[in-house]
Structure formats: structure tokens, C-alpha cells
Structure 1
């Protein structure tokens, strides 16, 4: 009679051949658990995101996250990867392009994962609406932020000027910029960058007029006169020396490191509230944060809470469930919350927001305080951007603004062209 030890030994020998394919399958499965993650951002964001990826790997044996960081060429590389069928499993989008990518079917709807793999019970009320396009959850909002105005506290104090605030009108702001540039008196240094080429700044300007950048039916939501006034404002400010030269502004790729303020050419920047930390990391003086100028005191602020960024799963991902698990981990894990802080914006998980706020540094706390301070001034979130919005931004809005800045086009002519390009590019 065989002993138990002999039986096990013989079974192992006899089953060796049968076990071989299973071992090969396990190895193959291990190879399939690598996942690509693609984002852009400051060095601080890169460090924090990589740390989260390592934490996810530690919690999921056999999983390898391949982090890929984009720079000024982020969108070009993403377009190339999508066109070549080589998209990352998860990639980062910003609200101005998010719906456009979703409608082009490049992102995987998350509806089947919500409440199953991706927990939403602790998220701020209504936050998933910020990731919804045409009734489908197209991506995961990562945070909440808002438009803001950042300023160098030391430069304004030395100039003897009062920083802008909630009661500052656009006319007040123009006078402040002109006075500040003159007071500093430094070559290649101005009060602020030329924000005429930022769709988000124009969107706030329009919201103060009761209009939108894009309408509910997916076409432009403004008139040529609105664009003419916008271009005219910045043309006048450029000529009076209140904002940077066209040559300096043209180098801005709408990222922190290329902004005139980050490059030492301006004392202020129209940016997003979560970017305060990124700007502070590259600016030597303490920075303040406030709201954008308004059309009139007591009128609409032009502000609304918006998703800081989205993570989406590529429609071609071979590991969608693993990718969904990572999204859940990114927004719901307490340790991840401690790593991320508020660099991408205020956490959407309310428990994590409460836990993180006492732990963050003074600069990050300013960002959270700002978000809390505008609660009674924010308006509704605008409709999702239409198909063609990305092209409109990069091939029409910015180039036309640059032509005005360089004196190659007058505001009225530029506004007419912008409206015409919008009609051509946007697929309502």
C-alpha cells in the first residue's frame, strides 16, 4: 500500500506532463498583466503618479505598470498611438478634449464597471456626471478644480499694488497690469501672459456674459462680437505693455513649464486652481490665488467646478478590467490619496478629501481653500465639448489669437474667422 508521501510524489511525477501546459499558461498570463499608463504634467505630478503605480503593483502580484510621461508633444504622440492601434491602456485627458475623444470612440465606456469594480459610494454627489458623455460614463474624473488667477505676492507687494480679488473687473485688471509692468521696470518682464489663446479663459469671459464656448447642440455658443471684444482686450493690453510680447507668448504650449510666469517673464497667470502647486515649485516667491476678473461687480463669476483631469481606458485595451481596477485604486485608496494630495485637484472621494486636507502642505491648502471659497459663486458645468473641439482649439483658436498678437490680423477680422472655423470644424 502506498503511503501518502509516495502517492503525492508519484502523482506529481505522473502529472508533470499535464502540469506543463498549465505552467506555461500561468507564465503567459503573467506576461499579459503589464499595463501602459500615459499622462503629462510637472515633475511633481510625475513623481506622485509613478509612486501610485508602484503601490498598485505591490498590491497586485504579477502586475507591471509601464508609465509613459508626455511633454509638449503629448497630444501629437497620443494621436499617433491611437491611429496606429497602439494606445496606452489608460491615458489622461483634460476636460476641453475629453468628450471629443469619447465621441471618436477612442475610450471604453465604464458603465459596466461602475459600482462593481469602480466604487462610487464615497464620491462627491454628481461628480460622475463630469465623466459622462451622451449618457455613457466615458472616463473617470480624478479631481475637482476651477479657473483661477495666480500671482506673485512678493512682486505685487514690492510694486505697492493691491493684488486682484473677487471684485476686480477686467478693466481694473488691465490698469493693474499696466501699472505693475511699469513698476517692476524689468526687461522681458510683464504683469501677465497673453491669455487670448486660452479657450478656458475665453470660456469664463463668455460665461460672465451668459454665453458658452460651445452650445448644447455642439456648435459655438458665442457671437463674433464676443470674440472681437476678447481679442481687442488683449490686443490693447499688449500695446500698453500690460501683458507679454507675442514672441514670449507663442512659446507657451499651455503647460506649466512653458507658461510665461513659470519661465520668469510674468508676475501672474490665468490657470487652474490645482496648478498652484506646480507653479509654486518653479517660482521662487510665494504665490497667491484668486478668481478671474469679472465683467461687472456682482455679476456672474464665470466660474464652475470642473474635473481637474480624466483618466480613460482605451477602447483597444487588452486588460480593461485591470485598468478599471486601477481607476478605482487611484480615486478610492486612502494611501493613494496621501501620495497624490491635491496636485491634480481636490479629491473626488469625500473621505479622502477629509483625510488628506490636514496632511497637505500650505500651498496645497491654499488650493483647497480657494475651491471652498467659491462655492456660492460657481455656475453649472457646461455641456460636453462637441466633436471637433480639439481641432478647433489647436488649429483655429490659438493660431488666430497669435496672429492678432503679432499684428497680422485685427480683432474684428480674427473674430469673423474664428466663427467661420468653428462652423467648419465643429460637428454639432
Structure 2
């Protein structure tokens, strides 16, 4: 058993309320999740129900964050898994925003981590080194059949020579835009070779074309670590190295100066709007109707389109110069890991294997968590994809000649750096409480104090 550190991501002021404690016989929802209807309700009932005959069954706790659509798909797959494995039951919990990380920190401190829990590329290194995850190597290939994924794909979730999670799909950074708004305004949306300078001009132009008080061209992107990552990679640098930060004060100044200039020229939403964003689909300025463009991950297009009336378009993030590096790379969209404190590692691995390898499960999941890693599942779902889902697959395929190498695993403290350093400093800057120079200095100084080698 790994030693569990009591330190993790501290809760942010004003964050989501922590969900209720796990209960054996019920599905748990906090204020940002929902009660499923029809088939979904049946899934919730089946997942939470027990009977004397099932009293000796193994019960797994699964925890994830995401949209209502993700929860519905996850519960449906869990129900299918239970039908095929009646000796294993699943109790699911869906949280959102910072409430997820607060909950995980509490579980780590109490040595009661969910049997199966969700991570992402920027957090798997951090949490595996904190002792939150169980190494998955012993389950391969007996329980976890990932031979068809390819060794390079498994490297995406390998840290210090051990496999700590299974990627649920491939994705990449992306720029979403309101295709209807651009068509109505007669403005050409950003393309494959759009520079950051050109993007700024487009953002200002679409703001003017909207002609509405509370609608702007795009987000205040200084707040997004993944966009900063791409920006730095385009310039031969990086957000992180294996030992700490990969950038300095001058690079941070350039980054902040760009976004402050664009904000003051009317190309981004205001600070009061941007601070609503909790890195979830339903709090993004695009989905809230405050902007015509948004920056996110390609697999999230499905979730965005479900809650938006306008037709969405998808493209790459802008680049530093035409023909230059894109800053993009393929990444596991999301990851299932097994909790280090579990007493049911084998059963948890069996559930993950079903999630990534069963064609019927794949049809339920679609590409909401990314393009499936399994070639067999990918082939099985293609005929059933709707136009939005097909667009995400097309986008991932189009990036083939644009992506660079996958970066080194993020060091310890990277999650805390994103949530407690980068975002709050960007907010202070947007509210004009600090200068660009002070923001850049603080970002590096506080970043160095937070991010460290494992």
C-alpha cells in the first residue's frame, strides 16, 4: 500500500459545496449534477439497489467529474457492466468544479479513496506521486487487455516506469466557435494557420458584429493553463519540465500583455464573466452565451453542443507564426485510475477493462471522453456517431501532421499551481488589481514554490 500524503489541492474560496458522504445504497449527487430520467433513472436505481442475495457482492465506488451528459453515459455503462457481472455493483458519484478535487483530498486524508476515480493528463503524475493511485501493471494482460492500444498510448499514463491509469480516449486542445454567429456576421472563423495576432483581430471584429452589451469575441485566456502550455510550446518552451516550471518572468509578461491588450480592446469577456469559469462546460463563457469563441479540449465539443442552440465549429488554437509549431499534442482525454486504498483492485481493473474494450459500452460512451483508444471500439462506434461526434474524430485525425511530442509528466504541485496560482493571478490582473509585471513575477515565484520534482 502506498503511503498517502495528507496534502493535496486545498479548497478554493467560494468553491462548490462538498458532496455528502458516500452511502452504500444510493447514488450521490451534489448541486451541479442531476437526477436521470427514463433509462437513466433505471440505471441510477439499479446502481444503488441491493438485496439479500447480493449482500456478499463486491461493491465498487466510482467517482468522476463532468457534464450531465457524461454522468448519464457513465451510469449507463455501469448498468451494462453490472448486467454482465452480477457479482459486482457500482456506486457512482459525480461532482463538478473544484468540489471534485476537494473530495479527493478528503478521501486521501481519510485513506478512503474511491475504488475507481477520474484523473486527467495534468493531474495523473501529481496524484500518482502523492500515493493516490494503485499501479496497474500487475493487472496487465490478465484483467486489463490493452495490447491493441499500442505502447506509445500507454506511455501517456506512465509515470516513473509504472502505469497509473488507463486513458479513456484521445483528444487535443481545441478552439470552439459559434458557427452560426460567424456566418451571420460574414466573418471567417480562425483557421489552421491563424496567428495569435490574427485571432485578436477576429475576436474584436466578432465582438463588434454581435452588437450586444454582454457578448464578446472570446474568453480571457490568461486563465487557462493548457492554452498557456500551447503558447509556450510554440515558442520553444513549456509549461513544466520534470523538475518544475518551464518558463520565466519574461515569457509570463508576454503572455499577460497579450490578454490584457485584447481585453482592453474589447476582444475578451470581462473579469466578472471569466471568473465564473470553473473549468467545466456549463460555466464556460461560450456555453453561457457571453462569447462567440471558447478554448477547451476536443472531446468536450459533444457536451458543449448539447447545451448550445447554435451550431459549433472546431479548430486549432492560434499559433505564434504561420507555418510554426502548433503547440498541440495528442493526450489522453481523461483517465480511470484505481484508488491506492482499494480492497478490490481486481474488480476495479475489470470494470475499467469493460469501459475501454466493450463495443456496446463504446457505443454508449461515443467520443464524449475522447476518441476511443481501442481500434475495435473505434470501428464499432463510427456508424452510430452523430455529426458533432464525427467532427471530433475528424479533428483528431486532421491533427496527425500538426502535433508535437507528448510532454514530460507534470511535476508535483501542478494541479495546485493551476487552481491556486495561475487562475487567481489572472483574475487579479483582469480586475486591474495588479500590474502585468507584478503578475508575471508572482506567477513564477509562487509557481516555483508550488511546483517541484517528485
TM-score (norm 1): 0.92
Cα displacement (A) at 1:359: 1.4
Aligned to 1:345: 370
Aligned to 1:190: 216
Indicate conservation of the 8 Å contact 1:274/1:343, yes or no.
yes
Aligned to 2:10: none
Q: 1:165 aligns with which of 173, 178, 191?
A: 191
Partners of 1:299 and 1:112 lie apart in 2 by 42
How far does the alpha carbon of each residue in 1:218-263 deviate from its partner, in whole angstroms, 9 at most, with x for none? 2101121111111111111111110000000011001101001111
Indicate conservation of the 8 Å contact 1:30/1:62, yes or no.
no
Cα displacement (A) at 1:85: 2.1
Partners of 1:206 and 1:235 lie apart in 2 by 17
Aligned to 2:236: 210
1:67 partner SS:
strand
Which stretch of structure 1 is more off in the superposition, 192-201 or 119-128? 119-128
Aligned to 2:254: 229
Which stretch of structure 1 is more off in the superposition, 359-368 or 415-424? 415-424
Which stretch of structure 1 is more off in the superposition, 117-126 or 364-373? 117-126
1:232 partner SS:
helix
Q: Unmatched 5+ residue regions in structure 1?
A: 1-26
2:303 counterpart of 1:282: no
Cα displacement (A) at 1:125: 4.5
Which stretch of structure 1 is more off in the superposition, 124-133 or 145-154? 124-133
Indicate conservation of the 8 Å contact 1:143/1:344, yes or no.
yes
How far does the alpha carbon of each residue in 1:187-245 deviate from its partner, in whole angstroms, 9 at most, with x for none? 111111111111000000011011111113x2101121111111111111111110000
Indicate conservation of the 8 Å contact 2:333/2:370, yes or no.
yes
1:190 partner SS:
coil
Map residues 93-108 of structure 1 onto 2, 5 A cutoff: 93-108=119-134
2:409 counterpart of 1:409: no
Q: 1:66 aligns with which of 91, 101, 115?
A: 91
Q: Unmatched 5+ residue regions in structure 2?
A: 1-51
How far does the alpha carbon of each residue in 1:102-158 deviate from its partner, in whole angstroms, 9 at most, with x for none? 000110000101111100122145111111011110111111000000000110111
Indicate conservation of the 8 Å contact 2:193/2:318, yes or no.
yes
Cα displacement (A) at 1:86: 2.3
Q: Which runs of 4+ in 1 moved over 6 A?
A: none
Cα displacement (A) at 1:318: 1.3
Map residues 138-153 of structure 1 onto 2, 5 A cutoff: 138-153=164-179
Map residues 310-321 of structure 1 onto 2, 5 A cutoff: 310-321=335-346
Partners of 1:385 and 1:156 lie apart in 2 by 37
- Paired residue total: 402
Aligned to 1:7: none
Partners of 2:194 and 2:269 lie apart in 1 by 20
Aligned to 1:178: 204
Aligned to 1:257: 282
Cα displacement (A) at 1:423: 1.4
Map residues 7-406 of structure 1 onto 2, 5 A cutoff: 30-31=55-56, 33-72=58-97, 73-216=99-242, 218-406=243-431
Cα displacement (A) at 1:29: 8.6
Partners of 1:81 and 1:107 lie apart in 2 by 12
Indicate conservation of the 8 Å contact 1:124/1:349, yes or no.
no
1:150 partner SS:
strand
Aligned to 2:33: none
Partners of 1:61 and 1:424 lie apart in 2 by 49
Partners of 1:407 and 1:191 lie apart in 2 by 20
Partners of 1:347 and 1:145 lie apart in 2 by 10
Aligned to 2:36: none
Cα displacement (A) at 1:358: 2.0
Indicate conservation of the 8 Å contact 1:124/1:350, yes or no.
no
Partners of 2:191 and 2:56 lie apart in 1 by 55
Cα displacement (A) at 1:83: 1.3
How far does the alpha carbon of each residue in 1:168-204 deviate from its partner, in whole angstroms, 9 at most, with x for none? 1000000110111011111111111111111000000
* CA root-mean-square deviation: 1.4
2:439 partner SS:
helix
Partners of 1:53 and 1:34 lie apart in 2 by 12
Partners of 2:54 and 2:376 lie apart in 1 by 35
Cα displacement (A) at 1:44: 1.1
Partners of 1:300 and 1:108 lie apart in 2 by 36
Indicate conservation of the 8 Å contact 2:57/2:87, yes or no.
no
Which stretch of structure 1 is more off in the superposition, 120-129 or 371-380? 120-129
